[in-house]
A and B are shown apart, each in its own frame.
Chain A
Amino acid sequence: MVENRPFLNFLAHVVLIFGVVVVALPVWVALVASTHESNAFLRGTVPMWFGDQAVHNYSRMLGTGISTSGMPPVGWMMFNSLIMALGVALGKIAISLTSAFAIVYFRFPFRMAAFWIIFSTMMLPVEVRIVPTFKVVADLGMLNSYPGLIIPLIASATATFLFRQVFLTMPDELTEAARIDGAGPMKFFRDILLPLSRTNMAALFVIMFIYGWNQYLWPLLITTGSDMYTIVAGIKRMSTVADTDPQWNYIMATAVLAMLPPLLVVIFMQRLFVKGLVETEK
């Protein structure tokens, strides 16, 4: 700062504290609500301080769920979400790494065509082609399965472009040294390129894990059996039921559980998270 103005610094703190409170408010309310009994909400206003039902609510949701709604236990939905998030993140990284490697390190006919096909995924978000994509997945018999949840989401132009960028900045001399050292393309890829892209892979993993975990529309469409529900898509089905028979404490406990894993990832891997976020938009 050019000059020290205590008043402006004070104002900045005020603004930020206000901002932090606004940002935190919904989560605070959910957290508090998840620790009360169901009938705590019948009195008209939501309690603003913690109740004593936390252990009961969370263990009930994780273990059995709301059985009347036909929903599986939240623990099971979280497991589905975990599989999906890991599958999407790892799948995206794997196929983007190999395609970026092919595009950067090889010259072959129709290379640009391949490049544009990959690029096209950016222009076709799932939301705008819902019906026909659903039909394809249904025709392939992939409804209600982990591959159906994961595979259609792993094609990724952003991840491919990210690795392309990373590979382009690798010095040519490394490739040449490896060639003289007798490493063919796949050996070079495995021994040199992959280890050197490790932090980029980790950063991308963080972003893609969050992306996979937070998917909503896709799992909502293709999971028809409750045993395949992911937590983010499942919580909405639960709230629909709860609207008539409000069990706010359970819904909010589920909401907290739904946000917990990606939240932990962001908080504990903030450096990688920021790196991933900034890099994927280049």
Chain B
Amino acid sequence: MAQITIENLGKVYPGGTRAVEDINIDIADGEFIVLVGPSGCGKSTLLRMVAGLESITEGTCSIGGRVVNDIEPAERDIAMVFQNYALYPHMTVRQNLAYGLKNRRTPKAEIDRRVAEAAEILQIGSFLDRKPRALSGGQRQRVAMGRAIVREPAAFLFDEPLSNLDAKLRITMRLEIKELQRRLGTTSIYVTHDQLEAMTLADRLVVLNKGRVEQIGTPLEVYRNPASAFVASFIGSPAMNLIAARAVPHLPGTGHAGLIGIRPESLIPSADGQIEMTIDAVEELGATRLVHGHVGGEALTVTMPADADLPETLRLKVDPQDIHLFQAESGARLARA
């Protein structure tokens, strides 16, 4: 168990390309942190720097109070679950689990005990003597987790571990990972590009964009008060409507252009609504429907109950509480009036 402190962390490749910049995250003992962002945002690089697979060029990373910048991955007391699982194809499941412990000269009896325990937790006991080739995707995923568990590390690092699974299995495994982490209480850092996965797993989210942290907060904080237009559009599905506003009225100090953000579910059909939207298309999702339309030249999406009437134009209202304002150029959030 350990806390992880990341201070002013940065990575510049020898060629001069910058991958991440000025990252500061304090991770509490036992916390589940999810790094989320679009591809190329630096989330994997950040994780690999914590793991020791990428060198740290700026700042420090400490695990359990010890600066690990120059410490080999094996000595950092972490375990990692890879996207493609990286199971050793020529070893049985049992050998895969035991390999790291053997290299650490863990006594045989202790190895057996831990492997049995992990197998029990993950229900992989029945195929311990098979090779990875003979396992299904979900089973391989469990083995990859098992390899992390047997190490009893200070922290788990997950690098998009579910992205090779089909949609249904992904949801099951997501729940299992969350459950498992809660039970073991091990500090975890989890990388994903899937905002839904991020929301459901995280104690706290770290939203990354272009190598920088956009926002850190609990899933609800991030959802309710996105710190920037980027976060607003990235977190939440369907995405928040962002409308360019030439001038934002009744907001002090914002004579210049801005962005108005309204979540699709905040737009409520109402006879006395001020907003008149022309409907362009409707997507049925079963319980709800997504209505796409436009107001003036701006496209809007509205979430509605599936049984609501659909006139040709929708009159919508919105609670001023649910309006988010962002600066146009920087995308930074503006305080509400």
Q: Tell me if chains A and B make direct contact, with any CB pair below 8 A.
A: yes
Binding site for B on A (CB under 8 A): 171, 173-174, 176-183, 187, 191-192, 195-196, 198
Q: Does B103 contact A (CB under 8 A)?
A: yes
8 nearest A-B residue pairs (beta carbon): A181-B100, A173-B86, A182-B74, A182-B103, A177-B86, A195-B90, A173-B82, A180-B73
Q: What is the bound-complex CA distance between A179 and B54, given in angstroms?
A: 12
State the CA gap A173–B74 with chains docked (Å).
14
Contact between chains at A180 and B84 (CB < 8 Å)? no
- Whether the Cβ atoms of B84 and A173 lie closer than 8 Å is yes
Known: A176-B80, A177-B80. A182 touches B86 (CB 8 A): no
Residue contact B74 to A180, C-beta cutoff 8 Å: yes
* Choice from B79, B89, B99 contacting A196 with Cβ under 8 Å: B89
* Residues of A close to B51: CB separation below 8 A: 176, 180
B47 to A: closest C-beta gap in Å: 11
A interface, over-half SS? helix
| Minimum C-beta distance from B309 to chain A (A) | 53
> Quick check: B86 and A171 within 8 Å, CB to CB?
yes
Chain B residues whose CB sits within 8 angstroms of the CB of A196 once the complex forms: 89-90
- Which residues of B come within 8 Å of A, CB atoms? 51-53, 72-75, 78-80, 82-90, 99-100, 103-104, 147
Residues of A within 8 A of B87 (CB): 177
Instruction: Please determine whether B99 and A180 come into contact, CB atoms closer than 8 angstroms.
Output: no
Nearest chain B CB to A93's CB is how many angstroms away? 18
Q: Is the CB of B88 within 8 A of A182?
A: no
Q: B227 to nearest A CB, angstroms?
A: 33
- Interface of B (DSSP majority class): loop
When distances are taken between beta carbons in the complex, the residues of chain B under 8 Å from A183 are 74, 99, 103
Please determine whether A177 and B103 come into contact, CB atoms closer than 8 angstroms.
no
Bound Cα distance from A145 to B86, whole angstroms? 47
A187 to B75, CA, bound (A): 16
B100 close to A192 (CB less than 8 A): no
CB distance from B127 to the nearest CB of A (A): 19
Bound together, the chains give a CA A189 to CA B190 distance in angstroms of 30
Q: Which residue of B lies closest to A195 (CB)?
A: B90
A245 to chain B, nearest CB (A): 58
When C-beta atoms are compared, the residue in chain A nearest to B83 turns out to be A173
Q: Is the CB of A179 within 8 A of B53?
A: yes
A180-B80, A183-B103 given; A174·B88 CB < 8 A = yes
Residues of B with C-beta under 8 A to A180: 51-53, 73-74, 78-80, 100
A-side contacts of B53, CB under 8 Å: 176, 179-180
Nearest CB in chain B: distance from A235 CB, A? 42
Is there an interface contact between B73 and A179, defined as CB atoms closer than 8 Å?
yes
Provide the residues of chain B in CB contact with A179, threshold 8 Å.
Answer: 52-53, 72-74
Bound: A180/B51 CA distance, A = 8
- Check A182–B84 contact: CB distance below 8 A: no
| Chain B residues whose C-beta falls within 8 Å of the C-beta of A173 in the assembled complex | 82-86
User: When chains A and B are docked, how far (Å) is the Cα of A182 from the Cα of B79?
Assistant: 11
Closest-CB distance, A182 to chain B (whole angstroms): 4
